[in-house]
Amino acid sequence: MRFKRITVIVLDSVGIGELPDAGDYGDVGSDTVGNIVRLRGERGLNVPGLLRLGLGNIEGVDELPAEAAPTGAYGRMAERSKGKDTTTGHWEMAGITSRVPFPVFKEGFPKEMTDRFSEVTGLGFLGGYPASGTEIIEKLGDEHVRTGKPIIYTSADSVFQIAAHEDVIPVDRLYEVCRKTRAFLRDEWGVARVIARPFTTEGGKYVRTGARRDFSIEPTGTTMLDVLSSAGFDVLSVGKIDDIFAGRGITRPVHHAGNPACIDDTVKLLKEDFTGVLFVNLVDFDMKYGHRNDVEGYAEALEYFDGRLNEILELTGEGDLLIITADHGCDPSTPSTDHSREYVPLIIAGSGVKPGPLGTIDGFSCIAATVCDNFGLEERFSNSSLLGRI
């Protein structure tokens, strides 16, 4: 065992340029980080901490300045799996390459599915089509409050989202509705995630709350989380990681909403003694800014993370490894409000890390291979460990 603790932080949707097959997904021209920097003009993007680690030195990250002597190992990863959603990206990091994409419903949910939803929940429904989450609650919120029927909708991603006002369907009941829905969404209806989207009223407007929960389909194969926990190592999670893996293989989940709270949790856990992996998701980039095409908000969220990066680095001591990456893109500068098929950054830091370029790596599962190699476990998930390169 070279490192006692490995922290993996996923900057949800922070892509760095279109993959070669982006055209198959309608994502030609997508470059989440690059387009944000370009559109901000002279202000650029104030992320000195990430630049010191090598973000601007990564191939294809041309809008940010390169560091003369970066302190981290840096590169980019190309996704092997089919798809561009949260579940697919995180599963691949943990060792599962999805050769068949999860189902999407670009024309809306089929009648058989919505009939089944009504039958299982006993509530009926409003919506049933692809929509922006903020727009659909504005459009259907009054009818929902009047009738008590939940709002269901999807997107270009493999999701079945259920929105309800907390005064109409309390959060705990909404979660139970999601569990019942998750139970029948299998096989050809097996969406990656059923998502609870509670909202409330503020200033006369409907506003989504931080009580979102994801109810993911259970991983279809063995993950690094399964392997680590079975071998007796600690597997700690922050944010929606526990939801993405349906709780499997995680020994201690911490659920809080929003980047600031999740960074707080990360800092607290790094002050504790554990042996294994801390897996963190920072969702605000995607949920609050990417999907809402908010370039300025996205940039400010990146700068906020960078402003707190030093707290994390200071707690990444001797025997610790820090991996910063992403799961897909969500370019806020494009007309689309959905995820984008992009390369993702890979930045590795720690006192024992050899700085330098890692190039373009085939498959996010190199993370799982590296983690298992570090802890003396045989599984490599059909990829190569980076341990010998860092």
pLDDT at 337: 87
106 inside domain: no
Helix axes 295-314, 32-39, angle to 10 degrees: 110
pLDDT digits 0-9 by tens, 37-60: 999 999 999 999 999 999 999 999
Indicate the average pLDDT of the chain.
96
pLDDT digits 0-9 by tens, 268-315: 999 999 999 999 999 999 989 999 999 999 999 999 999 999 999 999
pLDDT at 103: 93
Q: Is 276 in the same domain as 372?
A: yes
78 DSSP β-pair partners: 362
User: Please, are residues 301 and 13 in contact by the beta-carbon 8 Å criterion?
Assistant: no
DSSP assignment string, 283-327: -HIIIIIITTT-HHHHHHHHHHHHHHHHHHHHT--TTEEEEEE-S
Distance CA 389, CA 43 (A): 35
Neighbours of 271 (CB within 10 A): 8
Percent share of the chain, pLDDT over 70: 100
pLDDT at 206: 96
Can you tell me which residue has the tokens 């259920």? 162
pLDDT at 194: 96
Task: Give, rounded to a whole angstrom, the gap between the first and last alpha carbons of the chain.
Answer: 14
Q: Is 246 in the same domain as 373?
A: yes
Q: Is 87 in the same domain as 225?
A: yes
Q: Is 58 in the same domain as 78?
A: yes
* Residue 285, token pair as written in the block: 């980039």
pLDDT at 311: 97
pLDDT at 306: 98
Quick check: 156 pLDDT over 80? Answer: no
Rounded average pLDDT over 188-193:
92
Taking alpha carbons only, the member of 51, 45, 48 closest to residue 31 is 45
Q: Is 82 in the same domain as 227?
A: yes
Taking alpha carbons only, the member of 224, 282, 226, 271 closest to residue 249 is 226
> Total structural domains in the chain?
2
pLDDT at 40: 96
Q: Which residue has the higher pLDDT, 143 or 155?
A: 143
H-only helix segments in the chain: 32-39, 48-53, 86-93, 111-121, 133-147, 171-184, 224-230, 241-244, 259-270, 284, 295-314, 366-374
Q: Is 360 in the same domain as 244?
A: yes
Distance CA 27, CA 282 (A): 23
Q: Which of 185, 215, 245 is the last residue of a domain?
A: 215
* pTM as predicted: 0.89
Q: Band of the pLDDT at 347, cuts 50, 70, 90? A: very high
CA-based angle 218:367:322, to the nearest 5?
Answer: 115
Kindly state the DSSP code that residue 231 receives in the 8-state scheme: T
Q: Band of the pLDDT at 132, cuts 50, 70, 90? A: confident
Rounded average pLDDT over 365-376:
98
Q: Is 245 in the same domain as 375?
A: yes
Residue 122, φ and ψ in degrees, nearest 5: 70, 20
pLDDT digits 0-9 by tens, 81-100: 998 999 999 999 999 999 88
Q: Is 332 in the same domain as 362?
A: yes
Q: Which of 175, 193, 215 is the last residue of a domain?
A: 215
Q: Residue-wise over 95-128: b if at least 16 C-beta within 10 A, else e?
A: bbbbeeebebbeebbeeebbebbeeebebebbbb
Where in the sequence is the domain holding 183, given as residue range(s)?
111-215
